[in-house]
Structure 1
């Protein structure tokens, strides 16, 4: 008789409150396959970490890792990974809501296809009428991601299984043996872009990342982001994206992809300066300086990644790359700029 595989469900929490409670309650209805729960609490002050002692889970085990402070999303997930006993790891955000049967189809798909490294289900925005959060992301030749399905109405376009460059960290099932080979998240990233950097390494090691729409979860977009410093958050985005390009691109594409990316980033910084958004201007510069100061560490990580690479950039761009949509790119930049301005208004900063 075939033994049902164990899944290690990992959740990182920081002052999740009622939203986190709803996330945990949704898991009480997930009976198959077998799963264990590992919660990493990043120094919560609202006692939400104690919720796991008040809820009866159909899990084989429940473990709490308590951090004294918020160490960031990436390091916290890495802590949990070291404790995971499952054949598969499910990363689940604390602001998601699971559906009762969401996990079994993901595991079945993994069991059927040993070439799969990561699977993302369909992710709906919570509290909306079938709007999508994300159906996967694709890499462009200028190093920025194209997010498929973001804020779009669900339609037949999103009902087909598809290879993607990167899954969304809000909910992704991972083959643990792949993590044992390529590592999980880069601790230096702290938060943001860590899942894309990880999925890139999964591809380079010869495994696939797919979007699998036969199952779904819900995500309360922005719940965590709204409680963080908007400048620090966006600085991490820029810093980590540049670092990921430096680590994962083939040598020729350091010139063909990284250099244009750096020039565009400097142009964005200049746009902030010309609009007198001085702190936003320095935000991008801080990201560039960080990468300059940490270039030796990045070079060591790059060597390890390039040593296990078995797929070329050309093939990867052909399979999970997209041509840059400059209008969409500009609209995305304006959306981020407006969000920064809006959130800085309350502090009186520019």
Structure 2
């Protein structure tokens, strides 16, 4: 089996209902050809693990007995990466139909780029921030007063 260019890394915690739409969006974006799926379940108490087995049986699944947090759970997947690129995807995020291919094309065309943040757009089409300034007294003042 050929390696796929993107490893999609997902940390799940009690979001069983979001798994189907997230994987449906990935498939609509060409995920079957472009991506491998790696999931850490962070000790969910809902039926996430069972649902994942039905929604995406080909996903590599690691199940934690304790919720170790988002960062540590992602780190658990590092040993399993095989693709050229890794995508950290939250279960409540849904990729647009052209996102995976556009991202791969951009990264391939710009080898000096080590990290790429894509545009985050809400369901209503509104741009959502993906970063914040480090909180300083001035930034807090400006943010609260506009």
Tell me how large the CA RMSD over aligned residues is: 2.5
Q: Distance in 2 between matches of 1:325 and 1:72?
A: 27
Q: Of the two structures, which has the highest relative contact order with CA contacts closer than 8 Å and spacing of 6 or more?
A: 2
Offset of 1:100 from its aligned partner?
2.3
Distance 1:7 1:43, change over 3 A: same
Offset of 1:120 from its aligned partner?
1.5
Maintained 8 Å contact 1:10/1:89: yes
Gaps of 5+ in 2: none
Alignment of 1:7-26 (within 5 A): 7-26=6-25
Bigger proportion of residues as helix: 1
Maintained 8 Å contact 1:13/1:49: no
1:130 aligns with 2:125: yes
- 2:101 pairs with one of 77, 96, 104: 104
1:67 aligns with 2:64: yes
- Find the structure with the greater CA-based Rg: 1
Offset of 1:96 from its aligned partner?
1.1
Distance 1:138 1:66, change over 3 A: closer
User: Normalised by the size of structure 2, how large is the TM-score?
Assistant: 0.84
Q: Distance in 1 between matches of 2:99 and 2:50?
A: 25
Q: In structure 2, what is the equivalent of residue 45 of structure 1?
A: 45
User: Normalised by the size of structure 1, how large is the TM-score?
Assistant: 0.37
Gaps of 5+ in 1: 145-260, 265-323, 333-350
1:29 aligns with 2:28: yes
Offset of 1:137 from its aligned partner?
3.3
Q: Distance in 1 between matches of 2:70 and 2:56?
A: 26
SS in 2 for 1:65: strand
Q: Distance in 2 between matches of 1:5 and 1:63?
A: 14
Maintained 8 Å contact 1:11/1:38: yes
Alignment of 1:201-350 (within 5 A): 261=136, 264=137, 327-331=141-145
Maintained 8 Å contact 1:28/1:56: no
Q: Distance in 2 between matches of 1:5 and 1:70?
A: 29
